[in-house]
Amino acid sequence: MGHSLDIQRLPRAFDPDLGQDALVLVPELSGDQAALVAGAAGSSPYLKELITREADWVAPALADPEAALAHITADVRALAPDQLKPGLRRAKRQLALLSGLCDLAGAWDLMQVTTALTNFAELCADVAIKAEIAALIRRKKLPGLTDADIETAGGLTLLAMGKMGAYELNYSSDIDMICLFDETRFDPDDFYEARQGMVRATRNMCTTLSERTADGYVFRTDLRLRPDPAVTPVAMAMEAAERYYESLGRTWERAAYIKARPCAGDLDAGANFLQTLRPFVWRRHLDFAAIQDAHDMRLRIRENKGTGGSLTVPGHDMKLGRGGIREIEFFTQTRQLIAGGRDESLRSRGTLEGLQALASKEWVPQDICDQLSAHYVAHREVEHRIQMVHDAQTHRMPQSEDGIARVACLMDRDRAELMAEVKARLEQVHELTEGFFAPDTPVEVVQAAAPEVLDDDILARWPTYPALRSARGAQIFERLKPELLARLARTAQPAEALVALDGFLAGLPAGVQLFSLFEANPQLIDLLIDIVGTSGTLASYLSRNSSVFDAVIGGSFFADWPERKALGQSLRLVLAHEDDYETRLDATRRWCKEWHFRIGVHHLRGLIDASDAGAQYAELAEVVIAELAPIVMDQFALKHGPVPGRGAAVLAMGSLGAGQINALSDLDVIVIYDPGDEDTSNGPRPLATRPYYARLTQALITALTARMSQGQLYEVDMRLRPSGTQGPVATSFESFCQYQRNDAWVWEHLALTRARVVAAIPTPIAEGLSQDITAFRETFLGAPRSRGAILPEVAKMRARLAAAKVPSGPWDAKTGAGRMMDIELIAQTGVLLSNATGHDVAAGLTGTVACGWLDAADAAELQRSYELFLSVQTAARLVSGKAINAQTLGEGGAQFLCRSTGYDDLAELEAALTQSYQSCADIIAAALAREGATDHDI
């Protein structure tokens, strides 16, 4: 037993006599149910007609509306083919009457009403199209298909578009659909006959639904949202539709597909088609250029529909007019297009859900979301009352006083109060949404003169750059230019900043998207000026990867660095949404670049110091290796089978192993594997274990180093593996241990002090191997060693390094006596001599004290100097990509370098560096001399 209609409100009868006439037909009703029927029939001729035709059905339906709705659905599914037209029309009468009365009574809210209408529409479409497909299959008009294909409509899918796709059908709505069929279900020689059959089925379905008979109609059906409807058939092959969207698809079509979903026929084929369109609908970058497109659409609609002009409630179009429903939809959908490519949580089909999702991610303030949501519901309820009067597909408020009075009666509102409320809501919607779009009238671009400090010759060549050759790109840039030049003029060295900006603009391959991004987010101009005026590395990188600016306005760009686990989860989530190997590699590059850029900006802005930046760069690289390795392995296994034995581990060496790299560092790695007792892999093309792991390693290195559409991840250096370039690219665990014990040079033992496992291939199979490698390293390094055997070798290494790499000047903090590499060498020696297992310089210098080789003061001086050198080195890579040249550094770069190191000016910093180099060189030389390990060539 169900529940009787829960009446929350009642309509009034505009014509009480008509209301009483309707009540006579349903004498069993009383109380509020009787008042509901009288009020509805007395204000809506359409509802009175439905009550008259379905009088015997009304009372039972109001006694249990949910059961009545279920019976309507069951009756439609049970219709025989020859009863479709009358049966669907009776079901539509009942559904329209039930939903209308439940709506007027407040028993169903807006979304319950629109969902009931939408579910019924897709049910009718599904039943009608499958009946037509069944008839064609019986007549052998769809070659190769059998009765088993009826359930999937022979591969024909109906995509619900617009309000139908979003479960938002209005009371007298048309239904917008796109009909596509899966051409792969047919032999190529049968394609044209199959297409002819699909077109016939689609046309007949439309007739079944939309033809008006003595029983009425079901739904007016509109198929004009398909590609190029003037010249294409009503049912298209999916391949042809996909080609169209890839080459000719427009912004309004992207917006339409936000709400698209398969609703009838072959649902799986429809879902697969929408998946192929995902890159078309949801751009990977923040698409602020869509704002102008949406604004242009609004203006065209206003012009074509005559809905512009001043706001007057009588005759106002509640859907397309100023402040109407479409304004809220455009406001929501445009923001979804902007950001939905990067955030899937913003891809809601419904308007209310979309607004709430945007608010939850701070794309829309919560108060504006709440206001627009309330206005949307109110607008839609007014729209429904307008349509209930005569079942007319109109959205205009009536012009006459009687017409408006009928609408007011259906809402139990005073006519004047309703008019005032509707006008206020329309004005508020217009005010809330209009500022997001461009002004109604084109803005005249003022050709402001450039500030005198800027070189006119540089500005004159900008129109020749690729990013400014398109008319649209140039138009947006001209609007930005006055503000851009004004901010340039306020920098410490405007001429230098202009040259840097010029280089950035010259390197841009296109400008519309980026310039639109700046126009919508003016604060990004400050960041751009800061970058181009300070960091040539970041500026050059930005010109090739301008889409990384998207990340800046993503909400968390300036938040603290996440934990390693969260960083890995972020990349895994990105990879999970890609379908094939190549797109996953590109997605990894895109993700890594955004985080890499984030580190650089944080360092540039002083949010982190050089040590923090180095640790973050290293952790980012580790996550990339760890998450990309399983992807590479899975791809490799398709051909050669899963990894034999215990798998492999990636061992980080050098600076990566020590957890400190800079913006341009190579990655030093070794791959170690354990085949166990297995000799070969088990796959379509099996390989012996040694070539298997060698090729797997090469595949991983290629994945990291290959230049693809999104550029390159890292350069990789494997020269620290056993036997260097002469050894195999992958080393077995047994060989690695044997080599370290018996054949390795002292310098290789020193390199081992920085070794650290960063990835297991695959996880968790190779975790045991990773643990064994770590245990071997700790045991091996913990063994006692003679200073007499190690320190002379260290002295020789210093001599070789001095001969091979001469410092380029005082700003080369890395190479030379007393500089970074020299201190790193001493720290590694400290690990060996102290039986310690630490990886970084601090741990090694602590070891030099623990073993009694250096005193605490000397170790502290080396540590302090190393931190200074690291700051200079890290800043240099970010500013110029190479060693610093004080003559060409520029004011912005000089300020950043001094800020990073804590010195007032470059002269003071240079003096401190020179003094520290000498001090550290003296400490190291004296320490070696005390042990009799010297080399006078240094």
Instruction: Mean pLDDT check: name the lowest of 40-44, 271-275, 517-521.
Output: 517-521
> Which amino acid belongs to residue 781?
L
| Predicted local confidence at residue 898, as pLDDT | 86
pLDDT of 260 over the 70 cut: yes
Q: By C-alpha distance, which of 549, 464, 550, 551 is closest to 506?
A: 464
pLDDT of 372 over the 80 cut: yes
Who contacts 786 (Cβ-Cβ below 8 Å, separation ≥6)?
Answer: none
Other Cβ atoms within 10 Å of 350 Cβ, number: 19
Q: By C-alpha distance, which of 747, 732, 733 is closest to 692?
A: 732
Instruction: Mean pLDDT check: name the lowest of 40-54, 513-527, 880-894.
Output: 880-894
> Which amino acid belongs to residue 222?
D
Instruction: Mean pLDDT check: name the lowest of 24-33, 89-98, 261-270, 287-296.
Output: 287-296
Instruction: Mean pLDDT check: name the lowest of 455-459, 579-583, 679-683, 923-927.
Output: 455-459
Instruction: Mean pLDDT check: name the lowest of 97-111, 251-265, 424-438, 578-592.
Output: 424-438
pLDDT tier at 727 (50, 70, 90 boundaries)?
A: confident
pLDDT tier at 447 (50, 70, 90 boundaries)?
A: very low
* Tokens found for residue 48: 């009175």
Q: Can you give the pTM of this predicted structure? A: 0.69
Coil/strand/helix, residue 160? strand
Q: What is the pLDDT of residues 306-328, one digit of tens each?
A: 555 568 899 999 998 889 999 99
**Cis amide bond preceding 16, omega within 30:** no
The answer to whether residues 118 and 259 touch, using CB atoms and an 8 Å cutoff, is no
Our CA angle for 127, 129, 135, nearest 5°, is 100
List phi, psi (to 5°) of 575. -65, -30
| DSSP structure class, residue 561 | P
| Predicted local confidence at residue 287, as pLDDT | 57
List phi, psi (to 5°) of 404. -65, -35
Q: Is 167 left (phi over 0), alpha (psi -120 to 50) or beta?
A: left
* Tokens found for residue 389: 């009067």
pLDDT tier at 449 (50, 70, 90 boundaries)?
A: very low
What is the 3-state composition of the chain as percent helix, strand, coil, each rounded to the nearest 5?
60, 5, 30
| Predicted local confidence at residue 445, as pLDDT | 41
List phi, psi (to 5°) of 732. -70, 150
pLDDT of 390 over the 80 cut: yes
Three-state helix/strand/coil letters over 647-671: EEEEEECHHHHHCCCCCCCCEEEEE
CA distance 594 to 607: 17
Burial of residue 6, with CB atoms counted within 10 A of its CB: 0-12 exposed, 13-18 middle, 19 or more buried: exposed
| DSSP structure class, residue 439 | -
Who contacts 899 (Cβ-Cβ below 8 Å, separation ≥6)?
Answer: 606
CA distance 642 to 194: 43
| Predicted local confidence at residue 670, as pLDDT | 94
Q: What is the pLDDT of residues 589-629, one digit of tens each?
A: 989 988 998 898 898 888 999 999 999 999 999 999 999 99
Exposure class string for 704-727: b at 16+ Cβ within 10 A, else e: beeeeebeebbebebebbbeeeee
| Predicted local confidence at residue 202, as pLDDT | 97
CA distance 279 to 224: 23
* Tokens found for residue 211: 């033809």
pLDDT tier at 522 (50, 70, 90 boundaries)?
A: confident
* Tokens found for residue 402: 């009687």
Stretch 709-735: mean pLDDT: 85
CA distance 423 to 428: 9
List phi, psi (to 5°) of 787. -60, -35
Q: What is the pLDDT of residues 757-804, one digit of tens each?
A: 999 988 778 889 999 999 999 999 988 888 888 898 898 888 888 888
Start-to-end CA span in the chain (Å): 97
> Which amino acid belongs to residue 257?
Y
CA distance 321 to 315: 10
| DSSP structure class, residue 171 | T
| Predicted local confidence at residue 469, as pLDDT | 78
Q: What string of DSSP letters covers 182-235?
A: -GGGS-GGGHHHHHHHHHHHHHHHHHHHH--BTTB-S--EE-TTSSSTTTS-SE
Stretch 363-391: mean pLDDT: 95
What mean pLDDT value characterizes the chain?
88
Evaluated on CA atoms 24, 26, 27, 33, the torsion sign reads negative
CA distance 618 to 322: 54
Q: By C-alpha distance, which of 159, 275, 266 is closest to 221?
A: 159
- Greater pLDDT, 816 or 500: 816
CA distance 938 to 806: 11
Instruction: Mean pLDDT check: name the lowest of 4-13, 158-167, 226-235, 831-840.
Output: 831-840
What distance lies between CA 873 and its chain's CA centroid? 34
CA distance 512 to 474: 8
Who contacts 574 (Cβ-Cβ below 8 Å, separation ≥6)?
Answer: 587, 588, 591
State the maximum Cα–Cα separation within the chain, in Å, rounded to a whole number: 119
| Predicted local confidence at residue 11, as pLDDT | 97
pLDDT tier at 536 (50, 70, 90 boundaries)?
A: low
* Tokens found for residue 862: 């080396």
CA distance 175 to 637: 48
Report CA dihedral (187, 192, 194, 199) to the nearest 10 degrees.
150
| Predicted local confidence at residue 284, as pLDDT | 64
| Predicted local confidence at residue 934, as pLDDT | 62
Q: Is 683 left (phi over 0), alpha (psi -120 to 50) or beta?
A: beta
pLDDT of 700 over the 60 cut: yes
The radius of gyration computed from the CA coordinates of the chain, to the nearest angstrom, equals 36
The answer to whether residues 631 and 694 touch, using CB atoms and an 8 Å cutoff, is no
CA distance 355 to 337: 13
| Predicted local confidence at residue 711, as pLDDT | 80
CA distance 128 to 202: 9
* Tokens found for residue 493: 């060295």
Our CA angle for 862, 864, 866, nearest 5°, is 65
The answer to whether residues 318 and 382 touch, using CB atoms and an 8 Å cutoff, is yes
Instruction: Mean pLDDT check: name the lowest of 73-87, 364-378, 435-449.
Output: 435-449
CA distance 194 to 417: 58
* Tokens found for residue 428: 């508020």
